[in-house]
Amino acid sequence: MPIAVYVLGLSVFALGTSEFMLSGLLQPLARDMGVSIPQAGLLVSAFAVGMVVGAPVLAAATLRLPRRTTLIALLTVFGLGQIAGAVAPTYAVLFVSRVISALACAGFWAVGASVAVSLVPVTARARAMAVMVGGLSIANIAGVPAGAFLGQHAGWRAAFWAVAGLSALGLVGVIALVPRTAPATGDDAPSLRRELLIYRDRQVWLALITTALNGGAVFALFSYLAPLLTDTAGLKESWVPTVLGLFGVGALIGTAIGGRIADAHLFGTIYGGIMASTAVLTLLALTAQWPVAAVTLSLLLGVTAFTTAPALNARMFNVASAAPTLAGATTTSAFNIGNTVGPWLGGLVIGAGWGYPAVAWTAAALAALAVGTTAVASRLHQRSAATEPGTRVVASSASSTPNPAALARTDAAAAAEPCSTT
């Protein structure tokens, strides 16, 4: 694996820490800024919405720029956003800094993912994405608890300064180790119109929906895991950081497993991971009142949910091979749509008075729907491979479904209209 991919993973560690660390900083932040906890919580929502909007917008806006230059610019803006948050005199300034940071974070994810897969052969895409997703997993294991620790002992602003330092480290790595790439010219030049054609492909939409449903299932439960552990399982609050850390450990294990097997068994990895998540969430709904079960299943959920992450990312790049930048942007948006909708649905369930175990049932239902969309995508993939003999199909299960949005480059006539490719 090229070292540049690991540099991108390090940068994602900084991005992920910033995205999720506010969960442990809301109380001191709210006190310092003189706002309520719900108002402070809006900073989390602002970041998620910025990710959803920013990924495709910035991917399109930077399409013709050198990717390395784009990564450097976005990581610089992200770091400056963390500094602005660290010195923010008012809640309004902090809110704006979070939105700007989210936009830069989304753009970096989208462009960084396309760079990562471009540095490896098609048979190693899932492993490359596992490194990037691994940065996010480690952020949950180490970055988020460390941010909470800093917030408790040195003030919440110290956590923002720490992330700014991590961003600077990632920036040095990108400058030094990510290879320069000259913008393509002529027929190979990036075209927004051509990349937008990927959205004519049903497989792209199925991949997007599956990613969103899987993310929604995970974060519907994860967002309310702390009160489930204390109010339903009867654990002391001191157990919550430990269990969250176990979830992060499980996520890292799952990412490693998914990255190792997904390139050879793409649909099998997606099926297996999401079906296992459905089972874990169902068991959690049934046994949440037992502390040992709640703790064990939280760890297992991290494993099963993140086993699918490299495969889902690789799948999107396969079906949207004609538009690698928008493929990364679409995956980022889909994940954050799930990250936004899942907790919202969980909140509705809690607000209806059905209790925290009902959140696990809701999450299980979302995961089951993701299994269904995976089944549809798999059937379409098999049908396309069988009925289009002129299409080159890679033997590996990681091969893409023929993509009507891709443009063949074998002759001038084919270059003028969409055709099937892998």
- Structural domains of the chain, ranges and CATH numbers in brackets: 1-179 (1.20.1250.20), 189-422 (1.20.1250.20)
Q: According to the model, what pLDDT value does residue 184 have?
A: 54
Q: According to the model, what pLDDT value does residue 186 have?
A: 52
Q: According to the model, what pLDDT value does residue 236 have?
A: 84
Q: Which of 56, 69, 163, 162 is nearest to 107 (CA)?
A: 56
Q: Say what percent of the chain tops pLDDT 70.
A: 82
For 236, phi then psi, to 5°, come to -75, 155
Q: Which of 24-28, 69-73, 95-99, 213-217 has the lowest mean pLDDT?
A: 24-28
pLDDT at 44 over 80: no
- Cut 0.75: pTM above it: no
Q: According to the model, what pLDDT value does residue 139 have?
A: 78
Q: According to the model, what pLDDT value does residue 406 have?
A: 37
Q: What is the mean pLDDT of the chain?
A: 78
Residue 399 tokens read as 């091969």
Task: Report the pLDDT averaged over residues 348-377.
Answer: 90
**Which amino acid makes up residue 356?**
Y
Residue 337 tokens read as 């749509």
Q: Which of 54, 373, 10, 108 is nearest to 215 (CA)?
A: 373
Task: Report the pLDDT averaged over residues 139-160.
Answer: 78
Rounded to whole angstroms, how far apart are CA atoms 147 and 155?
10
Rounded to whole angstroms, how far apart are CA atoms 23 and 11?
20
Rounded to whole angstroms, how far apart are CA atoms 287 and 275?
18
Query: Which pLDDT band, with edges at 50, 70 and 90, does 408 fall under?
Result: very low
